[in-house]
Amino acid sequence: MSSPAADPDRTASPVVAAVDGSAASMGAVHAAAGSAQRLGVPLGLVRVVPQPGDDPVDQRAAHVEFERAVQQLDEVRRTVVALLPALPVTAVVRRGRAAHELQTESAGAAQVVLGEHTGPGLGLVAGELARRTVSPLLLHRTVDRPTGPVVVGLDCLPGTETLLEVAAEEAHRRGTALHVLHGRMSRTASSVVLAAEQRLLERLADRARGDHHPLQVHVQAVATNATTLLLAAAADAQVLVLGRRTPGARRRTSSTGSSVLLRAACPVLLVPGPLRGDDGTLHPRAVAHQRAGSWA
């Protein structure tokens, strides 16, 4: 089962890759290019350099740094174009704080891709973007599992259907199977509850199979710790898809999501929750982006 890369729509929202000159960010560029090809959208390369201080010497040094960043980013752009001549690629260097600038970019992006953090934790930029991006955020990790499945963790709460659809699209575009996992701690997992949740997920899986034929979807709802279940599945996955609740929703992102983000052995695609609540009103952050004219 495989899906060819879509012809790029040059007017569509791009996949944005964060570039900082490191080897990890080059991995993000390659991952972002793959996502852009699968989605049929342009690739946008973004590099952020700090704002200069008030001192004239600092300003001159900042100007030199900015020009060097422009040259390096253009080299990256030309490398991608040479490898993928049909893929539209843009490059821009911005001044400011990296997390803030990338969050702004996310408002008009199909996806934002970050390279693997080499120190402890997610890193300051990834940690902030994991909480705030409007678009899905792909946290790239240097693994190569072209035959592995796409794995999605679902909690059977509002937003489950949307998240499953995103994961099904991802698996369909990658030409691989989708594994749907739901874990519930044993103290809250009666056989009746688990059976009902299994039936719900199977119904949604049937719909995904019909919408993305011949997608293979496997569903597993078990009385076990969700973090343990997802981390074990991530060991063989191409990508792990997780949901993130929009600020303003009744429940915040669980500790499961935070633990898996930190420890998963594969790339993680973090998908924000709906921008509208159950009553149809926009969540506060969505309102802020709309007022800024950053999305319609």
Domain locations in the chain? 15-139, 150-291
Record: fold of 150-291: Rossmann fold (3.40.50)
Record: fold of 15-139: Rossmann fold (3.40.50)
Say if residue 256's pLDDT is above 80.
Answer: no
Residue-wise pLDDT for 184-217, tens only, equals: 876 656 788 888 999 999 999 999 999 999 999 9
* Confidence (pLDDT) at 56: 77
Once rounded to an integer, what is the mean pLDDT over residues 238-246? 85
Residue-wise pLDDT for 136-153, tens only, equals: 999 998 876 778 999 999
| Topology alike, domains 15-139 and 150-291 | yes
Confirm if 256 and 230 have CB atoms less than 8 A apart: yes
User: Interior CA angle at 208 toward 204 and 210, to 5°?
Assistant: 115
* Confidence (pLDDT) at 283: 40
What percent of the chain shows pLDDT beyond 90?
59
pTM of the model: 0.85
What percent of the chain shows pLDDT beyond 70?
83
DSSP classification of residue 14: P
Once rounded to an integer, what is the mean pLDDT over residues 260-280? 76
Say if residue 5's pLDDT is above 90.
Answer: no
DSSP lists the bridge partners of residue 151 as: 179, 240
